[in-house]
Amino acid sequence: MGFGFDTSAEDIKVFLDEAEEMLQNMEGGILRLEKESDNPEVVQEIFRAAHTLKGSSATLGHQRMAELTHSMENVLDKVRKGKLEVTGAVVDTLFACLDVLKAYKEEIATGEESGVSAQSILEQLAAIDRTGSAAPAAAASLPAQPPAAASSMPAGLPQLTPADEEKVKSAPVRGMTAFWAHMQLDKNAAMPAVRAFQTLLAVGDIGEVVRSWPTQEEVEEDKVGDDMKLVFVTRESMEVVRTTLEGIPEVKILAVSPLSLATPAPAPAAAAAVVAEPANAEVAMPLATLTADPEGAPRREATATAGQIKGAKNSSRTVRVDVEVLDNLMNTVGELVIERTRLLQVLTHLETDREGDEASQVMSSALAQIGRLTGNLQDEIQRARMLPVDNLFRKFPRMVRDVAQKAGKEIEFVVQGEETELDRSVIEEIGDPLMHLLRNSVDHGVEPPMDRLKVGKLAKGTVTLEALREENRIVISVRDDGRGIDPQRIRASAVKKGLLSEDAARRLSDNEAINLIWAPGFSTAEKVSDISGRGVGLDVVHKNIEKLNGSVEIRTEVGKGTEFRVKLPLTLAIIRALQVEVLDTTYCIELSSVVETDRIPTSEIKTVRQREVIVKRGEVIPLLRLVDAFGQQRPADFVEPEEVFVVIVAVMGKQIGLVVDNLIGEGDVVIKPLGKFIGDIPGISGATIMGNGDVAIILDISSLVNTVQTELNRQEAALSR
């Protein structure tokens, strides 16, 4: 059954963005807490995230999320006060809370109830809270709280809407206090509307304005008198509230007081927990996050306000932009690149026909400037699409911990190069392949503690995830210090599974044998693991990386460990390509997959097992004629030239030579998808528009290489039978 919230779609979007950040902070904090249980900053980081999430979720109206984060605060508060020891049970319970909170976040995102109940987790938190408490806190030791006001509306305060009343009533649940204030604007003020707006901003800096008279819209329209009333909620004390209001020029405070409306009293346990929260904890502003002084530090209102103003100024330098907007901008830039190329071609003809003409020289200068501007625009849009891989990497520590616990292993997980930037479209697609590689490294790469000790290693294994930039590509490395991949075991497993004959397996080099792990369903595991198996699922990893125009290299040493090096393009929108021609059709080959180009005499082309090959530096390279790959037909009077152009390409260490009619040159091309009506065509990944308006085909090199390799393997298997 679906449910909705009494708020705008934009507010929900902002909440989801903030909630994702808070959940990630909590997950990272809990992981650190397991290792640094005596570090107060770690506990404070988790508490701050839970506190912020509690406030914003309560404002949004998701009470179950607010209740769960509130119970987490109770436990975390005891930890930071030294009344509760951080044990494995405490960490596991906090992680269980995190899983439920993620489910609740999805409820808000989809508008559909997940069916996830937090009752058992709440009971665990309550049990930890009870048994971990050293002694009941004395009332005198609690921070002073503002006195409760009468439950009736103050005299002279206009009527609140039901939604406003709900915000006031829920303030204590969120650890906040509701206030009402009555101010008088100076009658001699030159701009009373400005002073009224300053008042709204000042209150917004320390809390949330529930309702104002006049409203913000009326203030902006200069519809103000000399009287102003406010209802707002804040975590600040009465002293801070009064100091803030007194700091506004030409505004006199007539009255300011806590506000309480008639509402059912909270349960004793919940009430005690709210009172127990420190008065100077972080301000839980709805749908936003503010920083505050650490607990116990003397609070200086002037300094805090200055810090908040500085933070507001810094935040104004960034805006959230929908991904679709960035995609549209990139497409527009791509069209500009195409038109720039067309203009360049036109200019070339003009200069040929009218050499030295002044008009053509002016056009040449203008076109050069357009070229520079287009290039700058392309670079800036590309920068806007780039994100640090930290956004992806931060999801893995929890997964590695859980897999290690389930496998009974001790793992030190090291993350490096988180600041390396990658196109967000690539980041979205590479998450699953990296997850598979990490799970396999933990479950099958690193040995059990006793096995490691027997061979002189430390009981705790190390798994490292690293990102770095190499020229125009990003390399993501997943490596472990485990047992390594034994090519002999790979060969034996391939023979046992009937993939190769014993003779064919013996002829494989070690590198070729190791690359068999990419075969579908291949595994050397003696028993099936519900976590992973080295080889199980790796064919999916291989395919997904190829779809990104990427590649993966395996480096391994028996007894020392294994490294998977995933190489990815910086972006999927614009690529540098080699343009070739076959039967008056232009094809584009991504430059990163090109090893070399050569002009080969046809006499050097040999036929081995019905496949044309050439020999380069002692290595046999199979050939694929593009004219045959796509079923094109040569004219009946076609005469084979004495020399042919060959483009040698490589994917995952496998090389083939593409035979083409002509080499055109290099250039940037904008990738255009073929569309759902055309569908997936083997060997073709997309299309682009050339400067002359013609359509060029972008080749899927991975598909072409695999087609040739599959045919070679089939022939090998047939001969071995």
Residues annotated as part of the active site = 51, 73, 440
Lowest mean pLDDT across 299-313, 331-345, 547-561: 299-313
Residues 647-680: tens digit of each pLDDT:
999 876 788 999 999 999 887 777 776 765 566 6
Provide the pLDDT confidence category of residue 717 given band limits of 50, 70 and 90.
low
Q: Does the residue 552 lie in any domain? A: yes
| Tokens at 653, concatenated | 């260490």
Residue 333 burial (CB count, 10 A): 21
Long-range contacts at 262-267 (CB < 8 A, ≥ 24 apart): 262/151, 262/152, 263/169, 266/172, 266/173
Average pLDDT over the chain, rounded to an integer: 77
Of the candidates 282, 130, 129, the one whose C-alpha atom is nearest the C-alpha of residue 206 is: 282
Three-state secondary-structure class, residue 248: coil
Provide the pLDDT confidence category of residue 185 given band limits of 50, 70 and 90.
confident
Of the candidates 203, 182, 195, 204, the one whose C-alpha atom is nearest the C-alpha of residue 256 is: 182
Domain shared by 398 and 491, yes or no: yes
Between 391 and 691, residue with greater pLDDT: 391
| Tokens at 648, concatenated | 């040698």
Residues 625-649: tens digit of each pLDDT:
988 888 888 888 888 888 999 999 9
| Tokens at 445, concatenated | 């790469």
Boundary of a domain, candidates 519, 542, 569:
569
Provide the pLDDT confidence category of residue 721 given band limits of 50, 70 and 90.
low
Boundary of a domain, candidates 117, 135, 153:
135
Provide the pLDDT confidence category of residue 308 given band limits of 50, 70 and 90.
very low
Evaluate whether 489 touches 523 at the Cβ level (below 8 Å).
no
Domain shared by 410 and 536, yes or no: yes
pLDDT for 632: 82
Q: What is the CATH number of the domain that holds 337?
A: 1.10.287
Domain shared by 354 and 477, yes or no: no
pLDDT for 623: 92
Q: How many distinct helices (H) and strands (E) make up the chain? A: 23, 22
Q: Does the residue 521 lie in any domain? A: yes
Between 361 and 521, residue with greater pLDDT: 361
pLDDT for 316: 41
Q: What is the CATH number of the domain that holds 287?
A: 3.30.70.1110
Domain shared by 131 and 55, yes or no: yes
Domain shared by 554 and 490, yes or no: yes
Give the Cα separation of 464 and 63 in Å (integer).
Answer: 40
Mean pLDDT along residues 461-476: 88
Domain shared by 560 and 585, yes or no: no
Of the candidates 132, 35, 113, 149, the one whose C-alpha atom is nearest the C-alpha of residue 75 is: 132
Evaluate whether 578 touches 663 at the Cβ level (below 8 Å).
yes
Domain shared by 453 and 474, yes or no: yes
**DSSP letter (8 states) at residue 252:** E
Domain shared by 658 and 582, yes or no: yes
Does an H or E element contain 616, and which? strand 611-616
Give the Cα separation of 397 and 90 in Å (integer).
Answer: 18
Domain shared by 67 and 215, yes or no: no
Lowest mean pLDDT across 474-483, 544-553, 574-583, 618-627: 544-553
Q: Does the residue 173 lie in any domain? A: yes
Q: Does the residue 154 lie in any domain? A: no
Give the Cα separation of 184 and 227 in Å (integer).
Answer: 5
| Tokens at 418, concatenated | 């988180």
pLDDT at 289 over 50: no
pLDDT for 576: 80
pTM of the predicted protein model = 0.56
**DSSP letter (8 states) at residue 445:** I
Q: Does the residue 144 lie in any domain? A: no
Query: Can you give the residue range of the structural domain that contains 367?
Result: 323-385
Q: Does the residue 152 lie in any domain? A: no
Domain shared by 596 and 713, yes or no: yes
Q: What is the CATH number of the domain that holds 46?
A: 1.20.120.160
Q: Does the residue 146 lie in any domain? A: no
Domain shared by 130 and 19, yes or no: yes
Exposure string for 85-106, b = 16+ CB within 10 A, e = fewer: ebeeebbebbbebbebbebbbe
Domain shared by 377 and 276, yes or no: no
Q: Does the residue 150 lie in any domain? A: no
Provide the pLDDT confidence category of residue 588 given band limits of 50, 70 and 90.
very high
Residues 136-180: tens digit of each pLDDT:
333 323 333 333 333 345 656 677 777 778 778 777 766 778 888
pLDDT at 516 over 60: yes
**How many domains, in total, are found in the chain?**
5
Backbone angles phi, psi at 662, to 5 degrees: -155, 150
Boundary of a domain, candidates 335, 368, 385:
385
Q: Where are the beta strands (DSSP E) in 350-407?
A: 386-388
Q: Which residues contact 301 (CB under 8 A, 6 or more apart)?
A: 239, 240, 243, 244
Residues 47-100: tens digit of each pLDDT:
888 888 888 888 778 888 888 988 888 888 888 888 888 888 888 888 889 888
